[in-house]
Amino acid sequence: MSSVEALILGIIQGLTEFLPVSSSGHLELAKVLFGSNALPKESLLFTVLLHLATALSTVVLYRKDLFQLFSKAVAREKLAVHFSFAIILSMVPAALVGFFLEDFIDSLFSGNTLLVGAMLIVTAGLLYVADKPQSSENNLTHKRALLIGIAQAIAILPGISRSGATISTAVLLGVQREQAARFSFLMVVPLIFGKIAKDLLSGDLLQTAIDPLHLVLGFTAAFISGLLACSWMIALVKRSKLIYFSLYCLLAGSIALLMTLFS
């Protein structure tokens, strides 16, 4: 991996973690284009740092919300406790899938452009439906949080956008758009930190060797692009502009399928 590739992968991770176009799908396509099919195994530390960067960008952007939520939850204010429990519930499906199906999930991340292309087209359909005018008067109940969490678990598939799936599900359930985006971005932070802790405890990170410059470039690119993408996404969701991402995912998915057909 060169410095340019590290920078590009960081930008891809930062942008696509929050924009509804599937970060995992784009990283898989990038690996195929770069000819780096073994990147996740050989550079686990790099992958972990990219995810850490995007998690930190969410924490920075929502630092006031997180501080208030934590303070009010400690004080046992009803709404804060309710929202905190909703986040915990939303984590359960993805955590169970990750725990019981880890080997199967890992097998999907092998430059499979056919799967990525098909799932990007599924993402396009989700975004198209969610962009239509929807009733947005429902509160974020624990049942709705669990359903959004199931959407997040399904989005483990490369090509299914996590933010696209969770925001679309929330909007289709009648949750107000801005609250849907806020919940989507906050609900993934504990999962990312949990995955990072798991990787640290496993000792696998110590077995990876990568140029420190590449780590710095990738982390910085992912963090800055993540901040920009998260802010932009919130504004777009409020204005019902998901159709543009739907068209992009349809195009990207079609290209991925053509890559498979002619490879």
pLDDT band per the 50, 70, 90 thresholds, residue 148: very high
Beta strands in the chain (DSSP E): none
CA dist list (Å): 257 to 102, 250, 263: 26, 11, 10
Instruction: Tell me what pLDDT residue 37 has.
Output: 47
CA–CA distance, 188 with 186 (Å, rounded to integer): 6
What is the full DSSP assignment across 103-153?
HHHHHHTTT-HHHHHHHHHHHHHHHHHHHS-----B---HHHHHHHHHHHH
Averaged confidence pLDDT in the chain:
82
Q: What is the pTM of this model?
A: 0.81
SS3 64: helix
CA–CA distance, 51 with 126 (Å, rounded to integer): 24
Half-sphere exposure of 151 (CA within 13 A, CB side): 26
Q: Which residue has the higher pLDDT, 252 or 78?
A: 252
Mean pLDDT value of segment 113-133: 88
Residue 250 predicted with pLDDT over 90: yes
What is the full DSSP assignment across 82-96?
HHHHHHHHHHHHHHH
Residue 21 predicted with pLDDT over 70: yes
Q: Distance of alpha carbon 8 from its chain centroid, rounded?
A: 17
pLDDT band per the 50, 70, 90 thresholds, residue 147: very high
CA–CA distance, 23 with 12 (Å, rounded to integer): 7
pLDDT band per the 50, 70, 90 thresholds, residue 251: very high
Say which amino acid occupies 58: T
Say which amino acid occupies 178: E
CA–CA distance, 82 with 69 (Å, rounded to integer): 10
Write the pLDDT tens digit of every residue in 85-109. Answer: 889 999 899 889 887 887 788 777 7
Q: Where are the domains of the chain?
A: 3-262
Write the pLDDT tens digit of every residue in 167-206. Answer: 889 988 888 888 888 888 888 888 888 877 777 776 666 5
175 bridge partner residues: 138
Instruction: Tell me what pLDDT residue 209 has.
Output: 63
Instruction: Tell me what pLDDT residue 44 has.
Output: 66
Instruction: Tell me what pLDDT residue 200 has.
Output: 73
Write the pLDDT tens digit of every residue in 42-53. Answer: 466 787 788 889
Mean pLDDT value of segment 204-219: 75
Q: What are phi and psi of 175, to 5 degrees?
A: -75, 140
Q: Tell which residue, 191, 179, 193, 189, has the closest CA to residue 79.
A: 179
pLDDT band per the 50, 70, 90 thresholds, residue 231: confident
Q: What are phi and psi of 65, to 5 degrees?
A: -60, -45
Q: Which residue has the higher pLDDT, 36 or 127?
A: 127
In the block, tokens 């993540």 appear at 226
Residue 39 predicted with pLDDT over 60: no
CA–CA distance, 9 with 14 (Å, rounded to integer): 9
